[in-house]
């Protein structure tokens, strides 16, 4: 694995990538550079999208480091859709690139078979993004707490996607007095992952709300969406009550508008320590 999570190398050419929803997404423009040697890959991609507009539907936009080192929205594809993209680009390099992609995809298979490897890589990714070890431990733990909750919902006949989102909002509303979207708006976020922009305490109370929901769902054997919705409210309230008590005792708010869009978490942590 490349030392910089944003970069991986194919035949001495770098491809920017990012980790989202448990899989890699690769920069489309970087793939075009490799396959075509085009002097203007951005124009090539624009023309290709115009010729085959269905290609737009296989892309996701993520912020990746540009040549000026700034994060800019970039069209990306996961491994499966990268194969679809390759079909639209005549290139002698198509076959070796496909084999390379298959090998990169195997990393994910290894992670599924060995969760410890997945956790190690996850920590490396956050470290390279500028997060401190203390924050990373909380974030990674929160991911596994969330997984335990969604696994429980799945067993209890809660339908994925829409119903998961509704129940998550119930927990968030009871914990922080804000739905996920309201919280993201409060922090000035758009498509970014809210939890990647929470500080340590926000992550802790998120975990408490979700872990409490999992515990109650098991103890009450909640079945279906509506029973689990009531459980989600109760689990979130446990975390919300604890948050409010801490805010009273500490004399300051836990819910903060700060995010890590401009400055990495570790840098902000140092600034906070220096102020004290």
Q: What is the DSSP letter of 90?
A: -
Give the length of the chain.
276
Going by pLDDT thresholds of 50, 70 and 90, the confidence category of residue 274 is low
Q: Which two tokens stand for residue 178?
A: 């804000």
Going by pLDDT thresholds of 50, 70 and 90, the confidence category of residue 119 is confident
* Whether pLDDT at 133 is above 50: yes
Largest CA distance in the chain: 66
* Whether pLDDT at 247 is above 70: yes
Output the average pLDDT for the chain: 87
224-236 average pLDDT score: 97
pTM: 0.61
Q: pLDDT digits over 182-213, tens only?
A: 999 999 998 889 999 999 999 999 999 999 99
For the chain, which residues make up each domain, given as ranges?
7-113, 130-275
Query: Given strand 23-27, what is the order of strands in its sheet?
Result: 7-10, 13-20, 23-27, 71-78, 60-65
Rounded to whole angstroms, how far apart are CA atoms 159 and 147?
A: 15
Return the pLDDT at 110: 54
Q: Which residue has the tokens 């002698």?
A: 92
Closest-CA residue to 105 (of 193, 22, 30): 22
């Amino acid at each position: 694995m490349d030392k910089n999570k944003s970069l991986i190398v194919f035949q001495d050419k770098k491809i920017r990538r990012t980790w989202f929803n448990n899989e890699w997404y690769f920069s489309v423009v970087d793939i075009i550079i490799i396959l075509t040697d085009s002097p203007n890959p951005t124009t090539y991609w624009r023309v290709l999208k115009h010729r085959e507009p269905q290609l737009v539907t296989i892309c996701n936009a993520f912020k990746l480091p540009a040549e000026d080192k700034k994060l800019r929205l970039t069209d990306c594809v996961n491994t499966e859709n990268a194969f679809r993209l390759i079909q639209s680009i005549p290139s002698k390099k198509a076959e070796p690139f496909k084999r390379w992609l298959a090998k990169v995809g195997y990393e994910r298979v290894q992670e599924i078979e060995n969760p410890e490897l997945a956790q190690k890589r996850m920590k490396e990714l956050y470290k390279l993004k500028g997060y401190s070890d203390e924050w990373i431990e909380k974030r990674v733990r929160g991911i596994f707490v969330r997984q335990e909750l969604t696994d429980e919902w799945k067993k209890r006949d809660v339908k994925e996607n829409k119903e998961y989102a509704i129940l998550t909002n119930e927990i968030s509303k009871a914990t922080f007095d804000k739905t996920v979207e309201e919280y993201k708006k409060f922090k000035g976020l758009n498509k970014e992952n809210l939890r990647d922009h929470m500080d340590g305490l926000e992550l802790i109370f998120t975990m408490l709300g979700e872990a409490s929901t999992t515990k109650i769902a098991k103890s009450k054997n909640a079945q279906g969406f509506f029973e689990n919705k009531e459980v989600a409210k109760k689990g979130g309230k446990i975390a919300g009550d604890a948050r409010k008590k801490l805010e009273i005792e500490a004399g300051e708010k836990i819910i903060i508008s700060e995010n890590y869009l401009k400055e990495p978490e570790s840098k902000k942590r140092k600034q906070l320590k220096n102020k004290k």
